[in-house]
Copies of this chain bind each other. A is one copy, B any other.
Amino acid sequence: MNPEFVVYGYFRSSAAFRVRIALNLKGIEPEWKFVHLLKDGGHQHTGSYKSVNPQELIPTLVHDGHTIGQSLAIMEYLDEIKPEPALLPKLPTDRARVRQIAYAIACDIHPVNNLRVLLHLRDEFGASEEKRAAWQRHWISLGFGAIETLLAGSRQTGKYCHGDAPTLADICLVPQLANARRVNLDLSSYPTILRIERTALEHPAFAAALPAAQPDAE
């Protein structure tokens, strides 16, 4: 354990899943604090967690007296303080390509399908469980369609989204696939995405980050 790193997370959160992969790749074993997102209306809304992260979202990293929310900010930070192995390639154009794929997931798919959005859909629009699942499939399939096109159409795609080593793009992609399966999205239109997922899950940093492998898994 590197007790100077403390991370607040939850086994099923795909944003926490990303940070687990990044930490595993960097060889950092933090102290985990588990925040149950469903119990008692969600422990992320308690006063004690709110003082850690006013957004009442996970994950949060505490390191060296600094508290950092937002999984992407945490991962860029980890990459800056511990550059090897790199989560981003060297060239600016390559970094932009990786970030574009990462953000297509982390901005345009994941937040629209986040727990709080689904609960709001239920409460404000009476959306049934099936309607909420259809909502999620809609945004995942739109995003995956675009990402499949970007990946399949580029010679820069290798074993992973960019070349033959994992980057931020793969770190965002793999947890999003877990969410896609949870709502029974048909993934057959995304062969490149599925091929990359298979590669990633053979990597111990990805496999050890799977939700079912976490101490707080249910």
B-side contacts of A112, CB under 8 Å: 111-112, 117
A114 shortest CB reach to chain B, Å:
8
Quick one: closest B residue to A143, CB to CB? B55
Contact at A96–B77, with CB atoms within 8 Å? yes
B96 close to A68 (CB less than 8 A): yes
Q: Which residues of B contact A70 (CB under 8 A)?
A: 99-100, 103-104, 107
- How many A residues are at the interface, by size bracket? 35 or more
Q: Please state if B108 and A96 are interface contacts (CB–CB under 8 Å).
A: no
Which residues of A pack against B, CB within 8 Å?
54-57, 64, 66, 68-70, 72-74, 76-77, 80-81, 92-93, 95-97, 99-100, 103-104, 106-108, 110-112, 114, 117, 120-121, 124-125, 127, 131, 134-135, 138, 143, 145-147, 149-150
Partner of A72, one of B56, B69, B99, B150: B99
Residues of the B chain whose Cβ atoms lie less than 8 Å from the Cβ of A135: 120, 124
Alpha-carbon distance between A93 and B66 when the two chains are bound, in angstroms:
7
In whole Å, how far is A137's beta carbon from the nearest beta carbon of chain B? 12
Q: Once the chains bind, are A55 and B146 in contact (CB under 8 Å)?
A: yes
A93 with B73, Cβ < 8 A, contacts A145-B54, A149-B54 known: no
